Amino acid sequence: MPINTSSAQFRPVPLQPPREIPPTTPLLMPSSATETSPAWDPSSRTPRLMSPAWDPSSRTPRPMTPAYLPQDNHWLEDVALMRVRIKVRSLEDGPGGNVLEVTSTEMGCVKVRDGIQTRTVNLDSLAPLRPTSLEDFVTPISGERKGTIFKVKQIANGQCSLRIPGAQERKKTPDPRFSISDLVQVFPSTR
């Protein structure tokens, strides 16, 4: 049954002024003028205090690691390395980018496989994946053993001890040692 509003008496309900609610988290304010950063100064366009990451004398790591600075990747064009599946990352994708597989090179360009897609990129826009842990598959990028697939046995002081995957260790034969900068990660052989 509908409500009959013509006979009902309506009274206006007085509105109460809004209550002021105190903030639950206090705002942090700079304690002195020397501690202010550009975030506290709305007219600031450049930082007054330099982050240690941008200070050349700082020991704090920089935002781009040396592996992600432009590289001289002309070793990728070496025919001996074309028989292994080299791992690289695009400098444009950054450190968190996908691992790419080099499939071929031609006149300063590299064809890379990103999953099932193949694309062509500039040779200088790639960063090689260096060995970072034990059991990484790697190959030297120079010397008589370039193109040979090894596994990392030990990493210490910028050097890697390597072993041939599947081969039995011989106590009399010393493990080959290479500088990390002379190695690049590869995908395991599918043959």
pLDDT tens digits along 86-123: 999 988 887 778 899 999 888 878 899 988 899 998 88
Give a yes or no: residue 32 inside a domain: no
pLDDT over 90 (residue 68)? no
pLDDT of residue 111: 92
pLDDT over 50 (residue 50)? no
Nearest CA to 97 out of 121, 81, 73 is that of 121
pLDDT over 50 (residue 62)? no
Q: Where does residue 75 rank: exposed (0-12), middle (13-18), buried (19+ CB within 10 A)?
A: middle
Which residues 6+ apart lie within 8 Å of 41 measured at CB?
Answer: none
Give a yes or no: residue 138 inside a domain: yes
CA distance 51 to 100: 33
Alpha helices, DSSP H only, in 54-190? Answer: none
pLDDT greater at residue 135 or residue 10:
135
Give a yes or no: residue 78 inside a domain: yes
pTM of the predicted model as reported, rounded to 2 decimal places = 0.60
Q: What is the mean pLDDT of the chain?
A: 75
* Cross-strand bridge partners of residue 15: none
Of the listed ranges 4-18, 55-69, 103-117, 174-188, the one predicted with least confidence: 55-69
Give a yes or no: residue 161 inside a domain: yes
DSSP 180: G
Give a yes or no: residue 118 inside a domain: yes
For 122-144, give the DSSP string.
EGGGEEEPPP-STT-EEEESSST
Give a yes or no: residue 83 inside a domain: yes
- 3-class DSSP state for residue 185? strand
How far CA 184 is from CA of 39, 116, 151, 152, 179, in Å, comes to: 42, 22, 11, 11, 10
Residue pair 141/81 in contact (Cβ under 8 Å)? The answer is yes
The DSSP H or E segment spanning 184 is strand 183-187
Structural domain including 144 reads 66-187
**Gyration radius of the chain over CA positions:** 31
pLDDT of residue 26: 55
**What total number of domains does the chain contain?**
1
Give a yes or no: residue 19 inside a domain: no
Give a yes or no: residue 50 inside a domain: no
Q: Residue 177's domain is classified under what CATH number?
A: 2.30.30.30
pLDDT of residue 75: 83
